[in-house]
Amino acid sequence: MTAQIGADGADLFGDPDLKLLTDVAGIQPERGRDWVHLIDQLGFQSTQRLWIGECDNGVAVATWPAELQPQARYLYDKGFGSALVDTALKREWKVEASPHIAHPTAGSRRRLYMLRTIAPRDYVACWENKDALDRVRSYSLEDVEHELWPWLKQRGIADDGDNAELLRFLAEFPRRWDAHMRPGLRFRRVWASDEARGLGSTLAETIRSEFNAVFATAHEPALGSADTVSPGLGAPYRQAQAAELSGSPEPFSVDPEVVERGLRGHADTQNELATALRNAGIEPRSCLPTEPPFDLAWQQNGTVFVAEVKSVNDGNEEGQLRLGLGQVLRYRQRLLASGHERVVAVLVPERQPRDPTWHELCHGLGVVLLSRNELERAPALDVS
């Protein structure tokens, strides 16, 4: 038998070290948790949890990529999974397959884990196949037994010896829930006791640097120390992603801002601005749920810069710039009201406006107009 109901790898961990975890992540765990929520608190997309604590032979760092459906689709649909696993293995992380079936609120003790030994690269390559990724969804209990389970056995993720454990799992499954297929992974890195002691006060910085080097492969934001960015200004930057927009929806049947942010020109311009800032040693920030929905912000010498990016073409220039100007003025107002002493609004169109009076208007309102071909100016904007 290679499947079991219950905690997957629970014996690998000891006592959590919440102080070290806070030092590494730059934020504290939420109340009642011994791990940092990387999605809600820091804007990650590939993995939800970061845990740090003691183990028998040192200090262990663990995270679980692709644990839930949105994380799995982010990793496997975009091809980030193979690169992430390759980088982690090269940097001496232990990477293991952790496929399991669970209902949405199930703790680890109520999940069915399939423990068949699968090479992590082969496992990820399986899920990067479209047919396999389409299996990452919810199922009725009947469909788990008669559709999903035969497919898992065909792929070598389960076998006939697991049938009895599956039936026990289904018999105990809460009837009000559908079951979710989760093509998860386990990442674990241990700093041996002697090594951890030798690093002393630099242990947190070393762990953070190592974690960032791995997850940069998946275009994730960098963990930062708690004192690098003043409290209240966003989360680490989330890479903008262009979406495929199909059909011609009725006007405002979908949020026009959502459509705008799905455009390739918008995403590319926003990410190029983030890159220009990082190249100058400035960390770009993405908005938190409690903040205005700005595209990107940053802080320098006590001044907050808040940017709204707009895709622009010959037919929509006037409307897009009007919309963007109104948005960024509102963002400035709200950030000032939240306690930031000085906020500069930055309007970032995909190209230079054809109408030169836009420069005059923005200047009069104290708004910086920074077109895509001028993004290298961003780190040196006036903060006087």
In the chain, where the domains are located:
3-215, 229-380
pLDDT of residue 1 exceeding 70, the answer is: no
Mean pLDDT of 306-334: 93
268 with 309: CB under 8 angstroms? no
pLDDT at 41: 77
CATH label, 229-380, candidates 3.40.1350.10, 3.40.50.300, 3.40.250.10, 1.10.1660.10: 3.40.1350.10
Mean pLDDT of 346-364: 94
* CA distance linking residue 81 with residue 120, whole number of Å: 10
* CA distance linking residue 320 with residue 383, whole number of Å: 27
**Nearby residues of 15 by Cβ (< 8 Å), 6 or more positions away:** 53, 54
Q: Which residue has the tokens 């073409």?
A: 313
Output phi, psi for 271, to 5 deg.
Answer: -70, -35
* CA distance linking residue 233 with residue 134, whole number of Å: 37
Beta bridge partners of 182: 100
Mean pLDDT of 193-209: 93
pLDDT of residue 226 exceeding 50, the answer is: no
CA distances from 109 to 161, 199, 270, 348 (A): 21, 35, 42, 49
pLDDT of residue 282 exceeding 80, the answer is: yes
* CA distance linking residue 189 with residue 53, whole number of Å: 11
* CA distance linking residue 47 with residue 191, whole number of Å: 21
pLDDT at 340: 86
* Higher per-residue pLDDT: 2 or 211: 211
Encode pLDDT of 84-127 as tens digits.
999 999 999 999 999 999 987 777 788 999 876 789 999 999 99
pLDDT at 241: 74
pLDDT at 237: 85
How much helix, strand and coil, in percent to the nearest 5, is found in the chain?
45, 20, 35
pLDDT at 380: 87
Encode pLDDT of 36-82 as tens digits.
989 877 888 899 999 999 888 899 999 999 988 889 999 998 889 99
* CA distance linking residue 139 with residue 275, whole number of Å: 41
* CA distance linking residue 102 with residue 136, whole number of Å: 12
Average pLDDT across the chain, whole number:
86
57 with 193: CB under 8 angstroms? yes
Encode pLDDT of 14-27 as tens digits.
789 999 999 999 88
* CA distance linking residue 316 with residue 4, whole number of Å: 57
Run of H or E including 182: strand 179-192
pLDDT at 232: 61
pLDDT at 98: 92
Run of H or E including 95: strand 94-102
Give DSSP secondary structure letters for 290-322: TS---SEEEEETTEEEEEEEE---TTTHHHHHH
49 with 184: CB under 8 angstroms? no
**Nearby residues of 264 by Cβ (< 8 Å), 6 or more positions away:** 242
35 with 22: CB under 8 angstroms? no
pLDDT at 251: 41
In the chain, the percentage of residues whose pLDDT exceeds 90 is 59
CA distances from 134 to 101, 115, 129, 270 (A): 15, 22, 9, 30
Output phi, psi for 30, to 5 deg.
Answer: -70, 155
Output phi, psi for 374, to 5 deg.
Answer: -120, 15
Mean pLDDT of 296-303: 87
